[in-house]
């Protein structure tokens, strides 16, 4: 397993997201986001954790750049906190916010590392949520304004843009099941928010292209579902859940339509009156790549009746999730690299020759710090190696995969799980903010240096 086995120009990187690492939530003119509100709501997040400080990256980004240089990555995927750019989600840009990201981008370029910017990795300005958030169609237009402000400032230096990270999580966990910010619940809301996110994406693409020659794409977390058995009923259950968990985003974005099955499965929970004339044409803005985040597959079996409410699968009837097969990560997710190959092959078969990028892939395990400060994480090393092999296998089957980003550069705030889940290549001691390379970081470094 060497990097030489990958095509020329293949990009290897590492990824993070603003709210998960930055901290400094009240500095540089940043306004409050929905995650500030949610984490300060008693009972919403494990251990009452918040991103107030997180990895203190806002103050330590210079030394965090050294970690990337030490690893030897080609590119770094990070996200921009919308409320640093527009504290209330509308109006003129806050220059201090733009300057922070401008310094980060310049720092990357000085090290020869390409910046990959995600515009929205979940930190919606609270002021927009107060007007309805992603349930409000107007938020899509505000997002395009924000994209324009960022592209004008950074457009000359950013290599890759993603409009959204994981619209399924934003819409379904935020507005249907309510386990993520803003914590709203209801199946119709999940679908309405999904459509507004699709629209936001479609409006942001031309805004980015107007000021940047960088590549433009989107990042989705396709669920790689398998039927629990080869019975036609289990396969039909997969088809229904695929329609609401997967194709609801990329079908309008890449094919300019909602899959008829998506509408059929959800007909009892939504009228789809939120789709206006002309929306689908706007959503289908041409893209340069599709980003996929993959962690683990899921197995579905046919069942009788609906899922218990609230849940993140609006309209899902007649399907149940089968317990994942060990070994499991501390997230309770299985470790199945073949799922990544299968997913890449399936998406390529559906959407043709669009470049695919694995924009996140990683694992949380119970790391133990040795007396000498080292972290031996053989399970994470194996996960990383085996998933890179899975990417290579997909390329061998003719899939145009052009990049891989390890999640995550460092341990960080894992949303509703607080700080209990460690995905980092670098360990973060949250009391001292010391970063220590785990064996997985050292393995990736050797892999990237071609040794």
Residues that bind ligand IFM (CB under 6 A): 17, 20, 166, 293, 360, 407, 414, 423
Selected catalytic residue, list 22, 129, 336, 360 = 360
Choice between 293 and 392, CB closer to ligand IFM: 293
- Are the C-beta atoms of residues 377 and 425 closer than 8 Å to each other? no
Angstrom distance (rounded) from CA 192 to CA 270 = 8
Smallest distance, Å, CB 409 to ligand IFM? 12
Nearest to 404 by CA among 42, 47, 75: 75
Angstrom distance (rounded) from CA 35 to CA 418 = 12
Angstrom distance (rounded) from CA 363 to CA 331 = 8
Choice between 360 and 367, CB closer to ligand IFM: 360
360 is known as an active-site residue: yes
166 is known as an active-site residue: yes
Choice between 114 and 121, CB closer to ligand IFM: 121
Bridge partners (DSSP) listed for residue 357:
291, 403
Choice between 342 and 414, CB closer to ligand IFM: 414
Smallest distance, Å, CB 362 to ligand IFM? 7
Selected catalytic residue, list 166, 251, 336, 414 = 166
What the block records as the tokens of 10 is 């293949």
Smallest distance, Å, CB 221 to ligand IFM? 6
What the block records as the tokens of 237 is 């259950």
Angstrom distance (rounded) from CA 451 to CA 443 = 10
Angstrom distance (rounded) from CA 397 to CA 392 = 9
Q: Distance between the two ends of the chain, CA-based, in angstroms? A: 10
Q: Compute φ and ψ for 195, nearest 5 degrees.
A: -65, -40
Choice between 15 and 93, CB closer to ligand IFM: 15
Choice between 330 and 445, CB closer to ligand IFM: 330
Task: Characterize 184-196 residue by residue with b for buried, 16 or more Cβ atoms within 10 angstroms of its Cβ, and e for exposed.
Answer: bebbbbbbbbbbb
Smallest distance, Å, CB 331 to ligand IFM? 7
Smallest distance, Å, CB 36 to ligand IFM? 16
Nearest to 113 by CA among 409, 441, 389: 409
Q: Please report which residue ranges of 284-377 form alpha helices under DSSP H.
A: 338-351
Smallest distance, Å, CB 384 to ligand IFM? 14
Nearest to 173 by CA among 34, 328, 317: 34
Entry field: residues in the chain: 451
- Among all residues, which ones are annotated catalytic? 166, 360
């Amino acid at each position: 397993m060497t990097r030489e086995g990958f095509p020329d120009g293949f990009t290897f990187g590492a990824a993070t997201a603003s709210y998960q690492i930055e901290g400094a939530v009240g500095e540089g003119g940043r306004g409050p986001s929905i995650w500030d509100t949610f984490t300060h709501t008693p009972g919403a997040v494990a251990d009452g954790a918040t991103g107030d400080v997180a990895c203190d990256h806002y103050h330590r980004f210079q030394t965090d750049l050294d970690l990337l240089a030490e690893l030897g990555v080609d590119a770094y995927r990070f996200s921009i906190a919308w409320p640093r750019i527009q504290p209330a989600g509308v109006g003129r840009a806050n220059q201090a916010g733009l300057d922070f990201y401008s310094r980060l981008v310049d720092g990357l370029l000085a090290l020869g590392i390409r910046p990959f910017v995600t515009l929205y990795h979940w930190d919606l300005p609270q002021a927009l949520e107060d007007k309805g958030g992603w349930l409000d169609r107007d938020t899509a237009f505000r997002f395009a304004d924000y994209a324009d402000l960022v592209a004008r400032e950074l457009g000359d230096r950013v290599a890759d843009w993603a409009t959204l990270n994981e619209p399924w999580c934003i819409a379904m966990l935020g507005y249907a099941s309510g386990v993520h910010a803003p914590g709203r619940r209801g199946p119709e809301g999940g679908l309405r928010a999904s459509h507004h996110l699709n629209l936001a994406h479609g409006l942001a693409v031309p805004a980015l292209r107007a000021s940047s020659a960088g590549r433009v794409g989107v990042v989705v977390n396709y669920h790689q579902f398998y039927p629990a058995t080869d019975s036609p009923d289990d396969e039909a259950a997969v088809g229904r859940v695929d329609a609401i968990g997967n194709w609801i985003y990329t079908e309008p974005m890449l094919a300019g339509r909602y899959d008829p099955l998506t509408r059929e499965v959800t007909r009892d929970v939504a009228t789809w009156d939120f789709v206006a004339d002309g929306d689908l044409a706007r959503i289908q803005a041409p893209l340069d790549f599709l980003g996929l985040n993959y962690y683990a597959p899921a197995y579905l079996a046919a069942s009788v009746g609906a899922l218990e409410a609230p849940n993140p699968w609006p309209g899902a009837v007649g399907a149940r999730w089968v317990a994942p097969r060990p070994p499991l990560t501390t997230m309770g997710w299985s470790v199945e690299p073949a799922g990544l190959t299968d997913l890449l092959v399936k998406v390529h078969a559906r959407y043709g020759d669009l470049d695919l990028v694995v924009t996140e892939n990683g694992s949380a395990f119970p790391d133990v710090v040795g007396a000498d400060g080292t972290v031996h994480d053989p399970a994470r090393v194996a996960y990383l190696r085996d998933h890179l092999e899975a990417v290579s296998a997909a390329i061998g089957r003719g899939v145009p995969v052009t990049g891989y980003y390890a999640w995550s550069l460092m341990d960080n705030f894992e949303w509703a799980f607080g700080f209990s889940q460690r995905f980092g290549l670098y360990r973060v001691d949250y009391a001292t903010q010391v970063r220590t390379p785990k064996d997985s970081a050292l393995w990736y470094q050797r892999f990237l240096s071609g040794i």
